[in-house]
Structure 1
Amino acid sequence: METIVLVVHLIIALALIGVVLLQRSEGGALGIGGSGGGGGGGLFTARGAGNALTRITAYLAVAFFCTSIALTVIATQHGTGSVIDNVTPPAASGSQPAPADGTGGSVLPQLPAAPATPQVPVTP
C-alpha cells in the first residue's frame, strides 16, 4: 500500500511541476510572458487556458497534500520509530584506558600546544 501511495505521490509531484511551468508569467520581467497571441473563439483562449491551468494546479496541490498526509499516517502505523532510536550507543569508555599523553583518546591528530607568548617576526 505504501508503495502505491508513494508512486502516486511522485506522479502528482511531477505533474504539479509541469503544470506550474506551463503557466504564463504575470510579472512581465524582462518582457517575457507578457503578451499572448492567437485569436479568440478557440477552445483554449488566453483566459480559458489560464483558468484551466489554475484549476488543475489547485486539484494537483490538494492531491499532493492528501498523499503527503497518507504517507505520514502509513509511516506512523509501522511503529518503527525514529532512525536515531535504532542506533546503538558506543562501547563504554571504561574498557580502554585513556592515553597517557592527555589527548583524551581522540582519533584525530592533535595540534601542538600554543606558545605562552606570541612569536612576532623580527627584522634585522
Structure 2
Amino acid sequence: MGSLQEHSAESFFNLSQHHHRCQIGRNKTSKTRKKTCRRKAAKAWVIPYTTLYHQLTPGRKTCREAKQEYQRLSVSQESSPAAWAISQAELGFPVTRPQIKEFVLKVLAAQSDTRGLQEVD
C-alpha cells in the first residue's frame, strides 16, 4: 500500500521535514523521544521504521556506496566485458564463465592488478 518507493521525492522531503518539526523544542539528547517521533512518522507514512531511520541517518552510505571502495574494476571497465559477452552471444557464440573470467583477468593485469578472482558459486 504505502511503500517508500511509491512516494515521490517531494513527499519524502515533506516526511523529512515532519521528522525535523518533531525535534523542535525537544531535548536533543533524548534518544527515546527521537525514536518515538520517527516511529510516529513511519506509521503515518506507512513505511517501516528502519527504512525511515536509515534514510534520516546522516553520513550513512547505501550498500552500493559502501562496496564501491572494494571494486577492482571501474564502472566503465565493468561494462566492457559485459558488452563483449553480449556481442559474442548476438553473433551466435555465447561465452562461458571461464572465458569471462579470463577476459576480466586480462583487464586487471593491464592495470597492474595481479590478484586472482574469488570463486563465486
Band of TM-score, shorter chain = under 0.3
- Give me the TM-score of the superposition, normalised by structure 2: 0.27
Higher helix share: 2
Q: Which has the higher contact order (CA 8 A, sep 6+)?
A: 1
- Give me the TM-score of the superposition, normalised by structure 1: 0.27
Name the larger-Rg structure: 1
